[in-house]
Amino acid sequence: MFSVCINGNPHGFFKGSRGLRQGDPMSPFLFVLIMEVLQLMLQQLIDQNEGFSFHWRCKEIGLFQLCFADDLLLFCKADVDSVRIFRQGLDEFAKLSGLHTNPQKSQLILSRSAQPMREHLLADLQFQEGHFPLRYLGLPLLASRLSILDCQPLLLKIDSRIKGWDSIQLSFAGRLQLIKSVLMSLNVYWAMAFILPKGVIRAVEKRMRHFLWKGNSAVGYPKVAWSEVCRPMEEGGLGIRDILALNKALMTRHLWNVIQSSQSSIWVQWIAHTHLRHKSVWTIDAKGGSWGWRKLLRLRSALLPYIEFKVGNGEIFSIWHDPWHSLGTLISRFPSGPSRTNIPIAAKLSAVIVDGDWSWPPITDMECIEILHLLPTIHNGKDSILWRGGEFTTTVAYGIFRTPGPIVGCYSRRCIRDLKEAVRFTWPNRAWGEDIIWASTRWKGRHIVQAAYRALFSAIVYHIWRERNQRVFQHSQRPSTTIARIAAEEIRQKILSLDLSDSKWEPCMVLRKLKHTEVPVWIKLRHLPVELWTTEGLSTMASGIGRPLYPDSITRACTRLDFARVCIMLNVSSKLPKHVVIMMPNELGGESACKVDIEYEWLPPKCTGCASLGHSTKECPLSKQTKPAVAIYVRKPPPPTPAAPKLKIS
């Protein structure tokens, strides 16, 4: 049974049945969690057993494990005690998790000095014996320099991709796009890990060049030099990256991390303890290092002009070995400087900084006195290394290693631009789909008003297109007011021709009145400060009254400074301010009040009872009062007079 901790508390239990499988979206995260448990178990065994010995290259940082998903690398000294501790940890981990090592896929790699222990170690681990080079995550792991033979998997993969496209009839543009997106991505994966040999780069470029110009046929030849093809489009090329320059740019990312001493990376920590050993990366001798380390250090000179050293408290920068001075590394400029100035060669800048200011000892040597003339400014905080002009990116680094060319005007691009101006098609990139979606969602429904809006939108688009064609092909034009009047008249005739009787009239029908909550109104802002004559300033001012829509063309062009005219969407129930008071900064550093008058060009009917727009005073729900009772005096009629007796004669 398993339980998951949420915010530190276990919640529920579930039964594990299938285990971890590759391909599951959760498998990478679950593998990381499981490998963390294995790392803790191995760390506990190492701490409890004094017989364990680290690999001599990993002892400084205590590194004994590297893992990626279910691929695991373990490092130790080639002795029986260390190997048995690893075997014990793997067995305990298998009992706990059910994940067992595969003896057929697991390998034990030994150095030449450990060959006498070979039989004992293989018997304890029961693994296969491995040899360099071997593949890990698709890349070769090797103990010597990278050769063309080691890069054959890259070349074979490129060949297989190109061969898979033989059955597709690709155009030149299609082949160019596949080179940029697919073939270059294969090369970038290798170029991020190794400085590729020039023979490999030439082989990759040969395959790309053949595929670009010939495709799947054997006929054809390169029509333009490959160096010109690899230029950006604005320089007349096709935008393919130069592989050699891209390889160097990708590797400078690792060098930049070493220069910044980013301790978050295990690789940077390993380089600092194994190769640098408290030395500066700028003056360390590349001799004696590995082939890749020597290649990486050769990129220092190309990177230095683009790096800025910001001197702070001086606890990080070395006086003699770091290029914090405008003269570069002082030990290279003045090899005998430490003895002539009596400053130790391992001294930090903090030795000559007191209370945030320079405090150098007296320098009498005429050669070294130049150091004091070009001292940089001291800043607060720690020493820092910055990239000139912003942030380090691979794109910026790629521009360092390639030779830029002149900007070349594209004839086809100029033709298309001139053609758009000639046919007055100056709005080609407008996303009409957004306008259509907005209109369809805002004016949906079967009501006659919504239908009229939809028809009006279609009529305006239609007449604008007809006017455009008439101006281009017939060289005649009409004013915009005429076009709007024609479109409105068509909609009016269309509405009059519709059968609006949704149902028969009945005596109980009630007339429904539309209630508008917002109306568009033009306002004039007088005495508006000059600082607010911007889109943001006008929007801020208008938002205090209603919802700002847009200013008129004269206000947008700032050719009339008497007042600013802005169209807003006014809520019919809101109050109408006559002026707005804003606080503006003055010359004395304080603030002063500024009064902006507001003038409304038109307003809908206003109720005098509740001072709201949208209904008249008679229809105001708050001002309805019952009529007072009216007393009517009715005179009491006089009593009727008795009728005269009638004589009945019989």
> Residue 70 and residue 99: Cα distance in Å, rounded?
10
Express each pLDDT in 551-564 by its tens digit. Answer: 888 888 887 878 89
What pLDDT, on a 0 to 100 scale, did the predictor assign at position 458?
83
pLDDT at residue 69 in the model? 66
> Which pLDDT score is estimated for 502?
53
- Directed axis angle between helix 243-260 and helix 198-214, to 10°? 140
Beta strands 107-109 and 128-130, pairing class = parallel
Q: Check whether residue 123 and residue 161 sit in a common domain.
A: no
Q: Is residue 25 part of a domain?
A: yes
The residues with which 580 forms a beta bridge, in sequence order, are 596
8-state DSSP, 216: T
Judged by DSSP in three states, 13 sits in strand
C-beta of residue 471 within 8 angstroms of C-beta of residue 425: no
Strands 518-526, 591-600: pairing is: antiparallel
Supply the DSSP symbol for 276.
I
Take residue 214 and report the two structure tokens written for it: 């010939």
Q: pLDDT at position 161, please?
A: 92
Cβ proximity of 77 and 54 under 8 Å? yes
Quick one: pLDDT at residue 647? 34
What pLDDT score does 120 carry?
A: 82
Which of 427 and 397 is assigned the larger pLDDT? 397
Nearest to 187 by CA among 166, 201, 198: 201
Give the pLDDT of residue 472. Answer: 82
pLDDT at 467 over 80: yes
Per the CB < 8 A criterion, the answer to whether 265 and 219 are in contact is no
Q: Which of 182-186, 261-265, 413-417 has the lowest mean pLDDT?
A: 413-417
Q: How far is CA 85 from CA 32, 114, 314, in A?
A: 22, 18, 45
Q: In which band, very low, low, confident or very high, does the pLDDT at 428 lie, cut at 50, 70 and 90?
A: very low
Q: What residues pair up with 309 in beta bridges, in sequence order? A: 385
pLDDT over threshold 50, residue 648? no
Residue 18 has a pLDDT of: 60
* 307 vs 110: CA distance, rounded Å: 42
Q: What is the pLDDT of residue 273?
A: 85
d(CA 579, CA 577): 6
CA distance 22 to 30: 10
Q: Which amino acid is at 150?
A: D
- Residue 641: phi, psi to the nearest 5? -80, 140
Which of 351, 367, 382 terminates a domain? The answer is 382
pLDDT for 538 beyond 80: yes
Residues 92 and 8 in one domain: yes
CB 189 within 8 A of CB 204: no
Do residues 602 and 556 make contact, with C-beta atoms less than 8 angstroms apart? no
The pLDDT, as a whole number, for residue 179 is 93
Say which residue, 404 or 612, is predicted with more confidence: 404
Q: Do residues 141 and 132 lie in contact, with contact meaning Cβ atoms separated by under 8 Å?
A: yes
Measure the CA–CA gap between 420 and 415, rounded to whole angstroms.
Answer: 9
Measured distance CA(494)–CA(488) in Å, rounded = 10
Under the banding of pLDDT at 50, 70 and 90, the label for residue 631 is very low
- State whether 11 and 110 are in the same domain: yes
Pair of tokens at residue 311: 């001197």
Candidates 293, 296, 302, 204; CA nearest to 244 is 204
Cβ(401)–Cβ(191) under 8 Å?
Answer: no
- Residue among 522, 452, 511 at smallest CA distance from 487: 452
**Quick check: is 91 in a domain?**
yes
7 and 92 in a single domain? The answer is yes
Q: Find residue 600's DSSP bridge partners.
A: 523
Q: Report how far residue 130's alpha carbon sits from residue 134's, in angstroms, rounded to the nearest whole number.
A: 8
Residue where a domain stops, chosen among 223, 241, 257:
223
Query: DSSP 3-state helix, strand, coil percentages of the chain (rounded to 5)?
Result: 40, 15, 45
- Residue 208: is its pLDDT beyond 50? yes
67 beta partners: 72
* pLDDT tens profile 247-284: 999 999 999 999 887 667 888 888 888 888 888 889 88
Pick the last residue of a domain from 194, 223, 252. Answer: 223
Which helix or strand (DSSP H or E) is residue 400 part of? Answer: helix 394-401
28 and 122 co-located in one domain:
yes
Distance (Å, whole) CA 240 – CA 332 = 39
Q: What are the start-end ranges of the E strands in 449-496?
A: none
- Are 557 and 469 contained in the same domain? no
Reading the block at residue 507, the tokens are 């005596």
Residue 589 lies in a domain: yes
Question: Are residues 119 and 174 both part of a single domain?
Answer: no
Is the CB of residue 236 less than 8 Å from the CB of residue 408? yes
Judge contact between 106 and 99, C-beta under 8 A. Answer: no
How large is the angle between the packed helices 243-260 and 394-401, nearest 10 degrees?
120
In a 3-state reduction of DSSP, which class is residue 642? coil
Higher-confidence residue: 326 or 574?
A: 326
CA distance 238 to 230: 6
Same-domain status, 28 and 91: yes
**pLDDT at position 408 over 50:** yes
Whether the per-residue pLDDT at 614 is higher than 60: the answer is no
pLDDT above 70 (res 24) = no
Domain co-membership, 41 together with 122: yes
User: Does 30 lie in the same domain as 106?
Assistant: yes
> What was the pLDDT predicted at 649?
34
Query: Looking at the 3D structure of the chain, how many domains does it have?
Result: 5
Task: Look at residue 123 and tell me if it is in a domain.
Answer: yes
What is this structure's pTM? 0.59
* pLDDT tens-digit map of 559-590: 787 889 999 888 877 788 888 888 888 777 77
Lowest-confidence pick of 183-197, 383-397, 550-564:
550-564
Q: Are residue 74 and residue 107 in the same domain, yes or no?
A: yes
Q: Residue 596 falls within a domain, yes or no?
A: yes
- Tell me whether residue 343 is in a domain: yes
Does residue 604 sit in helix, strand or coil?
coil
In a domain, 307, yes or no: no
Tokens linked to 525: 């802002």
Mean pLDDT, rounded, for 329-352? 88
**Which residue has better confidence, 503 or 126?**
126
Tell me: pLDDT of 646 over 50: no
Within a domain: 400: no
Local confidence band at 417 (pLDDT 50, 70, 90 cut-offs): low
Q: Does the pLDDT at position 425 exceed 70?
A: no
The answer to whether residues 117 and 177 belong to one domain is no
Which domain, by its residues, includes 491? 427-496
Which residue in this structure is represented by tokens 């005596």? 507
